[in-house]
Structure 1
Amino acid sequence: MASSNITVSTLTLTMAELGPLNPLPVVGSELEEPYSVGEGVPEELQAATRYGVVPNVYPYLMQDGYSRAAAPRELTAVVLENSKLKATVLPSMGGRIWELFDKATGKQLLHTHAAPQIANIALRKAWFAGGLEWNIGTRGHSPTSCDPLHTAIVHTSDGKHILRMWEYERLREVVFQVDIWLPADSEVLLAAVRIRNPNDHDVPVYWWSNAAIPETDRTRVIAPAEEAFSADYATDITRVTPTNHEGYDGTWLVNSPHAADFFFDIDPSERRWVVAADDDGDGLAMLSTDLLRGKKLFVWGQGAGGKRWQEWLSPGAGPYAEIQAGLARTQFEHLAMPAGSQWCWVEAYGNGSLDPGISHGTDWQAAVAHAGERLETLMPREELESLLPAAIRDADVPPSTMVRIGSGWGALERARRRRAGRSWVAESGTPFVLESLTEEQEPWLGLLKGQAFDGAPSFVAGADWEGLLAGQESPEAHYHLATMRHARQDLEGATEEYRRVLESNGARPATIALARRGLALVLLAAGSEQEGLAELRTAVRRNPSNTWLLTEAATLAVRHGDPAMALELTGSAPTEGTAVGRLMFLKATALARSGRAAEAAAILRAGVEIPDLREGEDAIAALWEEVCAGEPVPAAYQFGMH
């Protein structure tokens, strides 16, 4: 099957720089599940929601050094094009398919724009709206959302030209790859995904391919199911009928009054697909082989908060929704991937080209039947399934041309496993080259070689690393050992190591400050609020130039009822940089908690913008209602999801 041409080019987007990584290790219980399970949810699904839950994304560091100051950036772009479609992929931004252009209609099938705004939506915060992304790890947008992936062009013996992207996922310790190709004259873009578990134990796995689609007044989303599992940022996960949900038909994007998820409960015997159709019947169709079971619709909703989020994420680009495909029925579940196994599937993307007279009619079953027939013409089920064996074989074909190098974590993991005599993946199709190693990995590589460990700007996890660090005597080794134990919620073990740092001679001031910060978090988690806040105050005094530490300390001071401490800290805060908006808001909150509402109101009226405002965070509006009672909340502060 001959393929279209692949060309490597550049694409200029107006967006902020990612900025520096947050150096504070993510060690607390940050990923608490916001939903509980309600009526109509099967027991096996409930059990799957309890399996594989992690407290945090350690050893990853947070990506929150960005601002909202956008400027033109030139990004590597790989273009796959034939007579029907043109796809543009961004390897340096998580491997996202940024554009899928249908030549027959002249329409972009994906929500895409020239000025994406980085915002706090992903597991590591940094994320941007638009295109089609790959999510792995745990519930949320992937740790690799804004990271460069290893990328190459692969030529197979049967004439395919494949764009391959791959990376080592550190949370689950698996390797994933995405092979994308566009056959000549094909109406669909094809993607084969492979996940490999090199471990000698089962691994909880999560995967969702997430496509942003343009939202119009007449866009409808269809999938072969009568019912769905739904959640909406305020209620339990429940079984619902999307076409008759809370008095409206939720399959029409503009009908939902608030943000909502609909995970279509597709019968295992049915083909897996979901399609969006605009007023002309055009829109993205997502089809997959049977392993990729889940299909989802997400809408921001028509409320003020949903509209504000859309403008926050895609300034001037118009509204959008998302259709998604995943391994499980919902995004609240993980699946157990057996030791040493690999999972593979194929996805297809193209224009559904439905008849709007049927797809937009009142008969849901007729709309589903029509869409199923149309998609069977677009890409027959048997034909898509027949592509899987070749895709599995092609996955190990060596790259012909490297486009860019990803992180050095895969190369380090290979070295760790070889030293321990443990299995690893075959790298013929996905090489983790030594050139990928940087200063992030070098101290850990040295530790594997028996060198003395004197600190690292990065973090690692696992019993092997803990064993190696336990044989070291430097304060930095004890600090990193403390963070590993803390991250897996061994608070007693973490406390012991943090105190060893504080009692040692020769520890760097920055290391002492971070150890005090870690000890403070342990104390706060144990309910010792005064002791914990005292440790935080001392930590900031030890390292006053660490804005991340100062911001965290002020946040925790407000949260644990010490507004005076928050005012003290924000009083010496920097007046420039990406943290200024967050610090000004913290100051306003602390003023309000100190009975100084008028001063807090003055700050809000002057304008506060928080670049890393978290999805679902409605604290600015809540503070406005408190200190500016009776005055309407400005539209710029309305971020409520429900």
Structure 2
Amino acid sequence: MLKRVEWREPILVHESQPCGPVPTICDEEGIYPYVSFSETAERPVLRKLRMIAIENDWLKVTVCPDLGGKIHSIIDKASGKEILFHAGSVRPVRILPRMAFISGGIEVSFPIAHTPVQIEAVHAAAEQIGDRLYVWCGEREVRYGMHWTVEYSLGERDRFLTQRTTFTNPTSQAHAWMSWSNAALPARADSQFHFPTGRVLRHADVLEELEWSADRQYRLADFDRMQGFFWKTSDCTAFGMYTPSLGSGLYHIADPAVTPGMKLWLYGTGRHEAWAHQTAQRKESYVEIQAGPLLEQADNNKLQPGARHSHVEFWLPSTEPLDIRAISLPAPQLVELSRVPMFDWVKRDTTLPWLALLSAYDGSGSGVSGACSAPPEPESGCWPPSGMERLGEALHWAGAADADETNRSLWTYYRAVWLAAQDQMDVAIQLLQTLELDCAYALLGRLLRVLKQNYEASRVAYDSIESAAWRLHPQLFIERDLTLEAIGHSTLEERERWFKQVDALQDDGLVERKAAMLVSRGSFVEAKALLESYPFGSIHQRYERTLLWMRIHEALDTPNVEIPEHLGEDDLAIYGAYRVSEANKE
């Protein structure tokens, strides 16, 4: 018996604080055109999120379109067991690309990992076709303008979930992409890892290759730290995890010619387990088993204009351990790809003004006359999507056609932002230099510092900001301090004056920059004491505080000192391509 149900479920959501009003172009901790986040509220609010469940006699699978189209739950109906890790709330933690990663369920990423829409709603549709139920989730993503759709389906007699992921590129340019399916499972010391024999790349505090042996059993208790493993070779196509104490597990299989990527990520037992607790309501660890069409997360591929990519994979929930070499690749009869919906832009607060502008531009006929709504306020964090190819023309039109002078300046600012997102940096900088807007000075200051290393000109841009609120916003404060630091010791008094204006604020970034200022002044003992006294929030794959700590101890002639955990930075080797470089997107 097949059944489909849809409802809205109350969920505890810990809201995230945006980093600030400067667009995430050349932002080391962001990905344009998405807003990046600096912290997460400790107290959650209640939100109702859309859920779609499909089930047969053996499985009930729940999908949440309001969390990027992820699988929220898989229930084994015979035992009543939940197979996946359930975090208990939506509690984002700091990790690229948006500094807002949430654990639990099964995440599907595109065109970067982790998916930038984890905490966003996407389109969804569901239908029964023949003896199979389908749920489709997807959107036209705003970074490059490509379509992605993930399809989940259950047949009447299936004891596995079929997942098919499809990408198309309707734009005029080739774009880089990666994609991984990331299943989170509850972890216990006795959790067993059933993976193929082969060569693996181990990502821990070092990057190294080693052999995953067939002659031993691997359990969570065998690992004392966070680490990941990528399979470079394998002797079978299936892998998975089973936990005897829970009586449940999950296995994955796919055609290795199309979906060869296999990954295991774990926090181990011991001090790193606390990193897993950051994303949940309770102190429970989890393990991620991942698969994808590329071998490693340092890899990207390209989707050519007009091209389509599709791959199929299967998830096999189990209440007993399985022999991965005995698992056969299923071959369900799926609906033709031509019937898989390719969704359009999602109408979010961050896309609606730009869709309205394109509509007004299209309605203007020759592009010379017409009316458009006022541009978004620069404080709104609503930036022109780089994936909307024709938006440059529309912004140029609006900058000339709008009767209001302030609006014309803002349209020009947004055109400069869009051009910078297209890697037309010199043109963008020239446009920004024509504007007398605080938002333009703020972005100009960053571009001059990061791209041109013209620190004096960057300083002039920041000094041109008139609004006291913009000047003292932590994001702008930090950006300006980086510029002043790059100029050298002559700016120390100025930096100190600025810090006196925010010395009551408890902000991770401000404290970190104050410690850097003390180092620049040569006050190493004071800088060390500041870093020791402040409880920083955790952040993955970022090492600025670690480097600062090491620099302090080298100056104090106490090298090789242990990195304090309260600095909030992991000790992993730098690795991975969570995003495609802003400076070389393709």
User: How high is the TM-score relative to the length of structure 1?
Assistant: 0.73
Q: Partner of 1:515: helix, strand, or coil?
A: helix
In the TM superposition, what is the alpha-carbon distance from 1:463 to its structure 2 partner? 5.5
2:541 corresponding residue in structure 1: 616
Letter of the 2:375 counterpart: G
Can you give the 5+ residue segments of structure 2 that lack an aligned partner in the other structure? 365-369, 377-381, 401-407, 573-586
1:402 corresponding residue in structure 2:
none
- Contact 1:24 / 1:61 at 8 angstroms: preserved in 2? no
Once residues 217 and 65 of structure 1 are traced to their aligned partners in structure 2, the CA distance between those partners, rounded to angstroms, is: 31
Q: CA deviation at 1:208?
A: 0.8
Decide which of 159, 167, 177 is 1:187's aligned counterpart: 159
Q: How many angstroms does 1:326 deviate by?
A: 0.8
Match of 1:346 in 2: 312
Distance 1:564 1:85 in 2: 66
Return the match for 1:297 from 222, 241, 264: 264
* Structure 2 residue aligned with 1:363: none
2-structure distance, mates of 1:353, 1:88? 19
2:424 pairs, out of 470, 477, 490, with 490
Contact in 2 for aligned 1:231/1:262 (Cα 8 Å): yes
Q: Higher mean Cα deviation, 285-294 or 601-610? A: 601-610
Q: CA-to-partner distance for each residue in 1:559-583, whole Å, 9 max, x for gaps?
A: 765565554444334967xx83433
* Corresponding residue for residue 359 of structure 2: 445
Per mean C-alpha deviation after superposition, the further-off stretch among 208-217 and 19-28 is: 19-28
Task: Find the counterpart in structure 1 of residue 570 from structure 2.
Answer: 640
Q: 1:590 to 1:485 in 2, by over 3 A?
A: same
Please name the residue that 1:242 is paired with.
212
* Residue 148 (structure 1) aligns with: 121
Correspondence for 1:132? 106
CA displacement, residues 340-375 of structure 1 (integer Å, 9 cap, x when unaligned): 2322333222224554xxx8xxxxxxxxxx3221x2
Task: Say yes or no: does 1:407 pair with 2:355.
Answer: no
Distance 1:570 1:397, change over 3 A: closer
Q: Deviations over 1:90-148 (max 9, x none)?
A: 2111112122232444543222121342112241222211111010013x211211110
Give the Cα separation in 1 of the matches to 2:466 and 2:316.
53
1:385 matched to 2:299: no
| Structure 1 equivalent of residue 404 of structure 2 | none
2:45 is aligned with 1:100? no
Q: Of the candidates 268, 273, 282, which is equivalent to residue 316 of structure 1?
A: 282
Match runs of 1:506-521 below 5 Å: 512-521=437-446
Q: Report the equivalent of 1:115.
A: 89
1:618 Cα deviation (Å)?
Answer: 4.6
Q: 1:481 matched to which residue of 2?
A: 415
Q: Partner of 1:168 in structure 2?
A: 140
Partner of 2:324: 371
Q: What are the residue-to-residue correspondences of 1:30-41 with 2, within 5 Å?
A: 30=28
Q: 1:105 to 1:635 in 2, by over 3 A?
A: farther
Task: Report the CA distance between 1:13 and its aligned residue.
Answer: 3.3
8 A Cα contact 1:174 1:195, kept in partner: yes
Which stretch shifts more, 596-605 or 181-190? 596-605
Query: Is the 8 Å Cα contact of residues 217 and 254 (structure 1) preserved in structure 2?
Result: yes
Q: Which deviates more from structure 2 when the two are superposed, residues 472-481 or residues 462-471? A: 462-471
Q: For residue 416 of structure 1, what is the aligned residue in structure 2?
A: none
Q: 1:169 to 1:639 in 2, by over 3 A?
A: same
Instruction: Measure, in 2, the Cα distance between the counterparts of 1:386 and 1:625.
Output: 56
For 1:144 and 1:250, the matched residues in 2 are separated by 37
Larger displacement relative to structure 2 (249-258 or 110-119): 249-258
Distance 1:148 1:225 in 2: 39
Alignment check: 8 A CA contact 1:540 1:546 kept? no
The change in CA–CA distance for 1:494 and 1:203 in structure 2 (over 3 A counts) is: closer
SS in structure 1 at match of 2:434: helix
Match of 2:576 in 1: none
Task: Label 1:448 to 1:27 Cα distance change in 2 as closer, same or farther (>3 A).
Answer: farther
Match of 2:238 in 1: 273
**Is contact 1:564-1:590 (8 Å) kept?**
no
Q: Which residue is 1:197 aligned to?
A: 169
Cα drift, residue 297 of structure 1 = 1.1
The alpha carbon displacement at 1:185 in A equals 5.0
Q: Which amino acid aligns with 1:149?
A: V
Candidates 1, 15, 26, aligned match of 1:17: 15
- Find the aligned partners of 2:552 and 2:42 in 1 and give their Cα distance: 26
Structure (1 or 2) with the greater helix fraction = 1
Closer/same/farther in 2, CA of residues 320 and 563 from structure 1, 3 Å limit: farther
Residues 85-96 of structure 1 mapped to structure 2, 5 A cutoff: 85-96=59-70
8 A Cα contact 2:68 2:120, kept in partner: yes
Aligned counterpart, 1:427: none
Once the two structures are TM-superposed, the CA of residue 250 in structure 1 deviates from its matched residue by 9.9
Partner secondary structure for residue 550 of structure 1: helix
Cα offset for 1:459? 1.2
**Change over 3 Å in CA distance of 1:225–1:341 after alignment to 2:** farther
Q: How far has the Cα of 1:209 moved from its partner?
A: 0.8
Cα 1:155–1:209 shift into 2, 3 Å: same
Output the CA distance in 1 between the equivalents of 2:70 and 2:486.
37
For residues 474 and 424 of structure 2, the distance between their equivalents in structure 1, rounded to whole angstroms, comes to 27
- Correspondence 1:84 to 2:58: yes
Distance 1:87 1:93, change over 3 A: same
One-letter identity of the residue aligned with 1:408: K
1:363-421 deviation per Cα after TM superposition (whole angstroms, max 9, x unaligned): xxxxxxx3221x22xxxx2xx33434x252552599xxxxxx97228xxxxxxxxxxxx
1:469 corresponds to 2:395: yes
Single out whichever of 344-353 and 140-149 deviates more from structure 2. Answer: 344-353
1:259 is aligned to 2:226: yes
Distance 1:202 1:633 in 2: 42
Q: CA 1:217–1:301 in 2, change beyond 3 Å: closer, same or farther?
A: closer
Alignment pair present for 1:571 and 2:500: yes
Cα distance change of structure 1 residues 345 and 485 upon mapping to structure 2, 3 Å threshold: same
Q: Could you tell me which residue of structure 2 aligns to residue 420 of structure 1?
A: none
Q: How does 1:205-220 map to 2 (within 5 A)?
A: 205-220=177-192
Q: Does the Cα contact within 8 Å between 2:194 and 2:241 map onto a contact in 1?
A: yes
What residue in structure 2 maps to residue 367 of structure 1?
none
Aligned length: 541
Q: What do the CA deviations read for 1:150-201 (whole angstroms, capped 9, x no partner)? A: 1222232x14332221211122321111222333453222222222222355
Q: Which TM-score applies when normalising by structure 2? A: 0.80
Q: Distance in 2 between matches of 1:533 and 1:243?
A: 57
Q: Distance in 2 between matches of 1:635 and 1:205?
A: 34
| Worse overlay, 512-521 or 295-304 | 295-304
Q: Deviations over 1:197-233 (max 9, x none)?
A: 2235543331111111222222232333411234336
